[in-house]
């Protein structure tokens, strides 16, 4: 997979990524998109969804701080994106923690064609109907069946599915990739999962879904590793993470990537 070339293409195209996301990470995901070389926009008003999605190259939906009005916007946005043939990336933040989040994520999954679905182990497990112990929006929980969860989610929801954790698993229903880039320090900064989902939105504009997902996870993971080398504490690490999303290039990707194709 030519991750470096996708990165180059992203920076040439500078895709406009429309985000309907949560209040906690609006700033950080916008900054992650700018750092990597994309262009973010945040709009949730029903009155402007169509105009905005029309000019956008991809749509990212993140349910981290939802309520009925925002859910309404999300559902409409997914429908409009389908009409305009724009890829949609979904981050089901907190699915399994509350029934409202699980059911909202499922509604979005059913309402349109989702290009990429990314969640942590317990969120993804909740979506495919297994009991999970999502504790808030973070989850230290992970399991040996993460690979299976990715495959089954891909199958059930007819999308590329990523289950992120110590090792990330990405499946399009046929192929499976494992990504080992990253660092546990990411869990000490809020919204790092949301950031990588947003970056998947940017790559969606210029790559097929499996490639967009794996590229995002590898690049974000390497940027995190480089950031941690410079700054092993969460505040400084967070700052350096943006620096490295900006600095990373194809050479660094080739040198540091830890990705493998796995037999299903």
Binding mask 69-108 for a copy of itself (x = CB under 8 A): x------------------------x--xxxxx-------
Q: How far is the CB of 176 from a copy of itself (least distance, A)?
A: 30
Residue 199 CB coordination number (10 Å): 29
236: contact with a copy of itself by CB under 8 A = yes
CA–CA dist 5, 187 (Å, integer):
29
Residue 41 CB coordination number (10 Å): 13
180: contact with a copy of itself by CB under 8 A = no
43: contact with a copy of itself by CB under 8 A = yes
DSSP sequence for 122-150: HHHHHHTT-----BTTB-----TTHHHHH
Which one-letter DSSP state was computed for residue 38?
-
2 versus 141: smaller Cβ distance to a copy of itself: 141
3-state helix, strand, coil in the chain (%, to 5): 55, 15, 30
Closest-CA residue to 190 (of 98, 20, 62): 62
25: contact with a copy of itself by CB under 8 A = yes
61: contact with a copy of itself by CB under 8 A = no
226: contact with a copy of itself by CB under 8 A = no
Residues forming contacts to a copy of itself in the complex (CB under 8 A) are 16, 18, 22-28, 30-31, 34-35, 39-48, 51-52, 55-56, 64-69, 94, 97-101, 135-138, 187-191, 233-236, 238-244, 246-247
């Amino acid at each position: 997979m030519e991750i470096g070339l996708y990165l180059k293409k992203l920076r040439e195209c500078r895709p406009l990524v429309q985000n309907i996301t949560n209040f906690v990470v609006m700033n950080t995901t916008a900054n992650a998109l700018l750092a990597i070389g994309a262009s973010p926009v945040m709009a949730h008003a029903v009155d402007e969804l169509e105009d905005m999605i029309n000019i956008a190259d991809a749509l990212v939906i993140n349910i981290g701080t939802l309520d009925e009005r925002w859910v309404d916007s999300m559902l409409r946005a997914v429908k409009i994106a389908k009409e305009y043939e724009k890829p949609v990336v979904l981050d089901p933040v907190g699915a399994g923690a509350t029934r409202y989040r699980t059911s909202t994520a499922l509604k979005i999954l059913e309402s349109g064609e989702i290009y990429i679905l990314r969640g942590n182990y317990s969120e993804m497990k909740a979506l495919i109907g297994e009991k999970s112990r999502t504790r808030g929006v973070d989850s230290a929980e992970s399991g040996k069946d993460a690979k299976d969860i990715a495959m089954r989610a891909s199958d059930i929801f007819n999308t590329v599915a990523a289950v992120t954790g110590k090792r990330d698993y990405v499946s399009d229903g046929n192929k499976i990739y494992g990504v080992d880039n990253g660092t546990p320090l990411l869990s000490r900064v809020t919204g790092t999962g949301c950031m990588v989902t947003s970056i998947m939105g940017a790559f969606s504009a210029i790559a097929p879904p499996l490639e967009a997902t794996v590229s995002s996870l590898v690049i974000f993971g390497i940027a995190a590793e480089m950031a941690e080398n410079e700054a092993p504490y969460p505040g400084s690490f967070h700052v350096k993470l943006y620096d490295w999303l900006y600095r990373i290039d194809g050479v660094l990707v080739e040198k540091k990537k830890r990705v493998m194709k796995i037999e299903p």
